[in-house]
Amino acid sequence: AEFSDYFSKHQADYRLPDRFQVNFVQFDTSNYVAQAEKSLGTNLDDRADQYYHQQGPDAFKDDAGVQLAPDAAVARIKKQLRQFAALTEARKDANTLLSSLSEGHDDQHPFSPDDLGALAKTKGLTVKTTAPFDEKSGSKDLDASPAKLHVLFSLREDDPDDKSRSMLYAPSPILGESNVYVIGLQRRLPSQLQALSVVYDKVVGDYRRDKALELARAAGEKFEAAIQAGMVQQDKTFDAVCATENVKPVALPEFALTTTNLPPQFSSKTLFERLQETAFALP
């Protein structure tokens, strides 16, 4: 009964957000390496070296935050320049496809969701369809960040002012990490509540977590009351109260307000900072 009540009160937390499915044609940058090399010319080494010195050695670090050696930094810059050049070349073909897609469409001849597939077939290109995705999480089928896919959530087929239905298609190619996409709306799935049977495992996990937090908070408040009574009213030491309450105290290494290295007992920087503020506020 308590679990059912928990789900009833939190059902909105398990509501599916608005989701989209889109059709897309993918232009893979790996198919544009030769064109990218040609566009970069023969002075790639000089350009990379110049950029390295403009930014300064400290601007180039590895995943651990360690400054890269000059050769490694320049190699990274060259890789980035090649990737950007390949994306530029791929975008040219994507723009050409978009231009062809717009031909012959106006208010009297509106777009349809099938136009991209029909056009791609005539050009020997493949159209794929994503799984439903929401604005916050983005799509696993597209290697672009949710921020770059934000424009897709303005696509629609039912705008009364859009008689040509041009809003079915993204107005420009979407750039991913290593692909460029021409994208059109397949369908829009409105937000909906989910039955408990669908999200049962997640609700169980959330219920256990919230219940454990509630019990831990109650235990903490009980211990706080015991500390107040024992140390203030009975003049007991902190350790003596801990022993009475069957609580094991933890001795932390010395720290200052400016200490940034987390003690081994802490995994959360935020929690340690709260401890610092609390401790140094004690008289």
Q: Which residues contact 112 (CB under 8 A, 6 or more apart)?
A: 165, 168
Quick one: pLDDT band at residue 21, thresholds 50, 70, 90? very high
Per-residue pLDDT reduced to its tens digit, 118-133: 999 999 999 999 999 9
Q: Is the pLDDT assigned to residue 154 strictly greater than 90?
A: yes
**Quick check: 119 and 25 in contact, CB under 8 A?**
no
In three-state secondary structure terms, 187 is strand
Average pLDDT over residues 51-61: 89
Residue tagged 């829009």 (tokens): 188
**Quick check: 177 and 8 in contact, CB under 8 A?**
no
Average pLDDT over residues 49-75: 88
Quick one: pLDDT band at residue 42, thresholds 50, 70, 90? confident
Residue-level pLDDT at 66: 87
Q: Considering only CA atoms, which of 4, 14, 10 is closest in space to residue 194? A: 14
CA distance 7 to 1: 10
Q: Is the pLDDT assigned to residue 64 strictly greater than 90?
A: no
Q: Mean pLDDT across the chain, nearest whole number?
A: 92
pTM of structure: 0.69
Per-residue pLDDT reduced to its tens digit, 206-230: 999 999 999 999 999 999 999 999 9
Say what percent of the chain tops pLDDT 70: 100
